[in-house]
């Protein structure tokens, strides 16, 4: 039993040969090269076969001499190289079975002699084949090439179970998975999922036929919801292009969703082949940063693949403040539709809810929470006779929050502002708030296993 990814790149690879963008530059400097996506199962079954696939096998230290089955997802040139099949025919007359959409089969067939020892299988979504001991289920893709006959799907995905029981989902190319595909995958408990993630942060380029990072996270969430992806499933991002951030940053983001990026040639199965043991994910994450540093976007990314999320908005309403309404609306618009929102300052009961099915919490933000707490205790006027009593109430609320944060068993991500790196506030109340916010951040961070600092959209672990 073995599954090796031969290539993990998009059609034009990564780095792109004609490009000098920062992403391509970082990958060149690191010596990383990703060729067109393909994977080899047991040395016998090939998932897609583009022009670079044979060479990628050689670079990975394997050969294709025992190849008996090729599953083609569609006719685009990075997934189907008829020349590769022709070159194989120069070496061996061993039988080969080629599976794919009708137009892809016809394109490949034209390159081989009529008497070649190849069995051709034109398939569509819903078909199921038993080939060379493999159970092959054909699933729908949202990708299209425009090269097939009208009304006939010209791109498919594959659910493959090996003779030894290894179950693999090969899901590239595709945009958001069709409802029928998610339904067909219910309870599959895949060992490995190869899921496309072409466009990185450029979701505007993905359209309906590809995925960017945000869409990738959503598909992982959907597959988890039906038992297709479990905690033990190795979810690997493939079909990667230079629209992604450099590999270290990509790996960091994918890890939050239980997924990873691997180098070309990586052995994925047996399950412990090249996969480092991963620790249990954090319960508490604190994301710090200044204004417009990217901290809220980072917090939202962390939970993008969570089954359910309660977004805890601590800002409250500001009647008559149009600019504030616009800020709030922008936050609301980018939240996934399945998230719920709770506008409250009462964080302790939420943190103490230890029900097994309690949604993850995203608290945005602790800065506005502290502002609201000070408002509640009327603690802004440093000259007021009751100021000391007011701040005893504030300190008690902070202590209760930190204690609940320490005890919580819920997955929780909180956002907070770092307000102490600018000019010294001109007012006593401003200085008081700056100092109090610093103390809150330090107290919460001391009880947090995952603290992140955002600067200029970049994220640093603390």
DSSP 437: H
Tokens of 178: 């069709």
Q: Where are the beta strands (DSSP E) in 354-457?
A: 360-364, 412-417, 450-455
Q: What are phi and psi of 342, to 5 degrees?
A: -130, 115
Residue of 331, 338, 377, 387 with catalytic role: 331
Q: What is the DSSP string of 57-110?
A: HHHTT---TT--EEE--B-STTTB-HHHHHHHHHH----EEEEE-HHHHHHHHT
Is the bond preceding residue 349 a cis peptide, omega within 30 degrees?
no
Nearest C-alpha neighbor of 444 from the set 411, 423, 413: 413
Q: Taking CA 60 as the corner, what is the angle to CA 57 and CA 62, rounded to the nearest 5 degrees?
A: 60
Residue 331 a catalytic site member: yes
SS3 label, residue 121: strand
With the C-alpha atoms ordered 223, 331, 287, 352, is the resulting torsion angle positive or negative?
negative
Answer for the pair 433, 419: CB distance below 8 angstroms, yes or no.
Answer: yes
Q: How far apart are the two ends of the chain, measured CA to CA in Å? A: 40
Q: What is the DSSP string of 314-367?
A: -S---TT-HHHHHHHHHHHHTS-TT-EEEE-S-HHHHHH---TTPPEEEEE-HH
Alpha carbons 451 and 217: distance in angstroms, whole number: 22
Alpha carbons 417 and 331: distance in angstroms, whole number: 16
The residues, ordered by sequence, that sit 6+ positions from 70 with a Cβ below 8 Å of its Cβ are 45, 46, 49, 85, 96, 97, 98, 99
Catalytic residues: 331
């Amino acid at each position: 039993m073995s599954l090796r990814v031969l290539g993990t790149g998009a059609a034009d690879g990564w780095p792109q040969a004609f490009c000098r963008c920062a992403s391509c530059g970082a990958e060149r400097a690191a010596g990383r090269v990703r060729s067109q996506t393909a994977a080899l199962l047991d040395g016998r079954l090939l998932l897609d076969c583009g022009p670079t696939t044979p060479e990628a096998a050689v670079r990975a230290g394997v050969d294709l001499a025992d190849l008996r089955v090729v599953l083609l997802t569609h006719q685009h040139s990075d997934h189907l190289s008829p020349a590769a099949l022709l070159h194989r025919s120069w070496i061996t007359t061993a039988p080969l079975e080629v599976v794919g959409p009708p137009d892809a089969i016809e394109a490949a067939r034209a390159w081989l002699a009529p008497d070649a020892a190849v069995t051709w299988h034109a398939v569509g979504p819903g078909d199921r084949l038993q080939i060379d001991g493999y159970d092959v289920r054909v699933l729908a893709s949202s990708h299209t090439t425009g090269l097939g006959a009208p009304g006939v799907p010209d791109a498919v995905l594959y659910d493959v179970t090996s003779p030894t029981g290894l179950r693999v989902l090969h899901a590239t190319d595709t945009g958001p998975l069709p409802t029928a595909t998610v339904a067909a995958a219910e309870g599959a408990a895949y060992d490995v999922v190869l899921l496309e993630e072409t466009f990185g942060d450029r979701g505007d380029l993905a359209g309906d036929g590809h995925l960017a990072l945000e869409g990738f996270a959503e598909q992982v969430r959907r597959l988890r919801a039906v038992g297709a992806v479990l905690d033990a499933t190795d979810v690997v991002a493939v079909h990667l292009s230079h629209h992604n951030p450099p590999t270290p940053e990509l790996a960091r983001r994918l890890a939050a969703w239980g997924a990873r990026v691997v180098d070309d040639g990586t052995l994925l199965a047996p399950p412990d082949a090249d996969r480092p043991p991963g620790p249990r994910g954090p319960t508490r994450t604190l994301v710090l940063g200044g204004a417009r540093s990217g901290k809220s976007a980072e917090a939202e990314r962390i939970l993008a693949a969570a089954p359910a999320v309660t977004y805890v908005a601590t800002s409250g309403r500001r009647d008559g403040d149009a600019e504030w309404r616009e800020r709030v609306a922008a936050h609301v618009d980018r939240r996934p539709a399945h998230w719920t929102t709770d506008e409250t300052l009462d964080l302790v009961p939420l943190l103490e809810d230890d029900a097994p099915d309690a949604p993850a919490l995203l608290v945005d933000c602790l800065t506005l929470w502290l502002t609201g707490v000070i408002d509640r205790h009327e603690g802004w006027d440093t000259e007021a006779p009751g100021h000391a009593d007011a701040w005893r109430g504030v300190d008690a609320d902070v202590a209760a929050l930190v204690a609940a944060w320490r005890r919580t068993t819920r997955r929780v991500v909180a956002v907070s502002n770092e307000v102490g790196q600018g000019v010294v506030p001109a007012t006593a109340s401003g200085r008081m708030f700056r100092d109090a916010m610093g103390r809150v951040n330090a107290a919460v961070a001391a009880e947090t296993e995952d603290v992140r600092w955002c600067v200029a959209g970049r994220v640093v672990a603390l």
